[in-house]
Structure 1
Amino acid sequence: MLNRCLYVCVLLCFQFTLLQGCDVATTQGQCQSDADCQGQICFQGLCKEGCRNDADCPDNGRCLDGACSSSSCKDNSSCRSGTVCLGNTCAPCTQDQQCDAGNVCVGGVCKTGDCHGELDTCKDGLICKDLKCSACTEDTECRGGICEGGKCQSGCRDNKGCQNGQVCDPKDKQCKECAADNDCSDKVCDTNTNTCQECVKDGDCKDGQVC
């Protein structure tokens, strides 16, 4: 009876050892996701050195076919997205001219666009929105001007938008010395020049005087 118990114990221990060994054999180097691999990636159920994307590669290297390439380059197409080829080495950009056409350099990264931000001046009265020159929709988007027909232009909406005592001409929305006679105190407004004058016609003068 004692021998039988010893046999059962030995058999159980042997089976337990085999199970433990099998567990190690099946898990070592095997995986279901990248999280199972320390600093590696899970590829076809096995942990291996490699990358999923450019961010996995050091020194601005590029991830190609699951492997990190060096940061050496011949042109921008050899570098990871956003970086440029400078002196045969992939590096962050420092100016727009280093980026491919249709891109601008923002924070060392080339991004699709044609302007940087609000401080940039786009052509034809457009403003910079999300790195693209776009039409304005309200006056506040125009620095010191007004939004007319989707374009920023110099002008005013009322007298508050004018300086140095000028008034806002409602006809063309421009600041002028005067737009009507009541803008000129004791003078009259020459609407051709929008300036205050002593007279514009004889009727503006006292009896016996001509303009």
Structure 2
Amino acid sequence: MSSRLVKTCDRRVGSPSTKLGPTGESTTTNDETTTTTGAVESCQDGEKNGDETDTDCGGASCPACADGSACVNDSDCQGMSCVDNTCGPPAPTCDDAIVNGDETDIDCGGPDCAPCDDDQACQGPADCQSQVCSDGLCQAPTCSDGAHNGSETDVDCGGPECDPCAAGLGCDGPQDCESGVCDGVCAVPNCNDDTMNGDETDVDCGGDTCDPCEDAISCQDGLQNGQETGVDCGGPACPACPTPGLVINEVDYDQPGNDNAEFIEILNTTGAPIDLTNHAVVLVNGANNTIAATINLNGMIAAGQYLVLANANFAVPPGALKVNISNGIVQNGGSDPDGIALVNKSSQKLIDALSYDGSITAINIPGVGVVSLVEGMALPANVIDNPAGAGSLARLPNGQDSNNAATDWKFTGTPTPGAANVP
């Protein structure tokens, strides 16, 4: 630090005095002696001098400057931030872990940073990844929020969660389209798109628009015909043929005023017996995402054999297996949604599942873990067990399991517990 201006005065009454002359020499008078050094710069002299960046601050020797003062380097400032040669807060960035600048939440939102996650603060749709801002918070995507978000392929349609898209809307594959045809966008059904859509009764034939079908071939006639590769499955018109295994084949969860008539049917679609030891049927209440009941199975189920879970007084056909369950134990959809899982506790695997009256996409089953009860696309909203009369949800064709609930399951007015399903 530079020294101040130092002046030394030595006064002696009656003694000669020596003073510096105009060129710095000493002068002497008769009454005092004054010796004066040269002027030296100081950090307290009220002037900007030396290497100071502002008055009495900054530089190598003086204290750091307050915000608003001139600076050259960060070290010239008390806050260690020199921006555009002025001490002050650092410029906001999108990775400084604080809300600043035009951000709406920590390092997100506003015109410069990435959109915010769900439940973070926002001022408008552009601040959110979901493009939905409500009550000052980014909202999770839904199939009715008027925005193209989540796994949707267009606004509120497409993807694994939402209904298929109408013609002209975006898609990633045929499953995203009502027409079943995706060509960058969902195509309008026509009579040469190799898909059964529109009002066609078979692939590219029948209905009011296309030519009549040549043969009365059906994917539900119990025969392998047309271009089917199996009985009522495979080929361009029918669903994919099932992968052999245990399947939940039919469910009657809502009989009008009669819980004793409800049942769950399991089918062995393989050509060999299956040991049911360590298998269980798990009933799920989707309203609060809890396990409503676990029904343990045992014994052997033969190839092509049915197992019915029902009330003790419920009759099943000869040759079908039966497990007695309590009245009303099958979730009747009143809690919406509800679900059924068939699990192997030994291998800790989900074997088959059905979610009805809504989608259960994450349930923690003890010994198995968190699983989804929705296979492929969820059941359409109109596929329900109508409580107004007899009926059930059934795999049609019987035993069909293409891992796509929207195509595998149908409502039938003719329940067939312990026997093959019929439309």
TM-score (norm 2): 0.20
Between structures 1 and 2, the one with greater helix share: 1
Which structure has more relative contact order (CA 8 Å, sep 6+)? It is: 2
TM-score (norm 1): 0.32
